[in-house]
Amino acid sequence: MTYRSLVGFLLLVSALLLAGCDSNESPTLPPEEEEPPPSDTTGTGDPPSDTLRVLADERGIEFGTAVAADPLMTNDTYAEVLAREFNAVTPENAMKWSPLRPSRDEFTFADADSIVAFAARHDMSVRGHTLVWHRQLPNWLTEGDWSREELITILETHIQTVINHYEEEYPGQITKWDVVNEAIVDGGGRRNNIWQETIGDEYVAIAFRAAEEATDSDAKLYYNDYGIAGGGSKADGVYEMVSGLVENDVPIDGVGFQSHLSTQYGAPSDQVLADEMGRYEELGLNVAITELDVRIPLGDDGEPSEEQLSQQADYYTRFLNNCLFAENCTEFRAWGFTDAYSWVPDEFDGEGAALIFDENYEPKPAYDALIETLKN
Ligand code: G3I
Instruction: Please write the tens of the pLDDT for every residue from 1-34.
Output: 444 445 444 544 444 444 433 333 333 334 444 4
Distance between CA atoms of residues 80 and 243, nearest Å: 41
Identify the sign of the CA torsion 271, 273, 279, 285: negative
Instruction: Give the pLDDT confidence score for residue 356 in this predicted structure.
Output: 98
What count of Cα atoms within 13 Å lies in the side-chain half-sphere of residue 97?
Answer: 24
User: How far does residue 66's CA lie from ligand 1's centre (Å)?
Assistant: 12
* φ, ψ at 221 (rounded to 5°): -105, 125
Q: Which domains does the chain have, with CATH numbers?
A: 50-375 (3.20.20.80)
The answer to whether residue 306 is catalytic is no
Compute, in angstroms, the gap from residue 343 CA to the centroid of ligand 1. 7
With 70 as the cut, is the pLDDT of residue 45 above it? no
The yes-or-no verdict on residue 340 having pLDDT over 60 is: yes
Mutate to test the pocket of ligand 1, among 127, 132, 136, 222 (most ligand atoms within 8 A of CB): 136
> In terms of C-beta density within 10 A (0-12 exposed, 13-18 middle, 19 or more buried), how is residue 224 classed?
buried
In this predicted structure, what is the pLDDT of residue 299?
86
96-146 pLDDT, tens per residue?
999 999 999 999 999 999 999 999 999 999 999 999 999 999 999 999 999
Cα 93 from chain centroid?
Answer: 14
User: Of 33-37, 204-208, 250-254, 366-370, which gets the smallest average pLDDT?
Assistant: 33-37
Q: Considering the chain, what is the average pLDDT of its residues?
A: 90
Could you confirm whether 169 is annotated as catalytic?
A: no
DSSP-assigned letters across all residues of 91-159: ESSTTSHHHH-SBTTB---HHHHHHHHHHHHTT-EEEEEEEE-SSS--HHHHT----HHHHHHHHHHHH
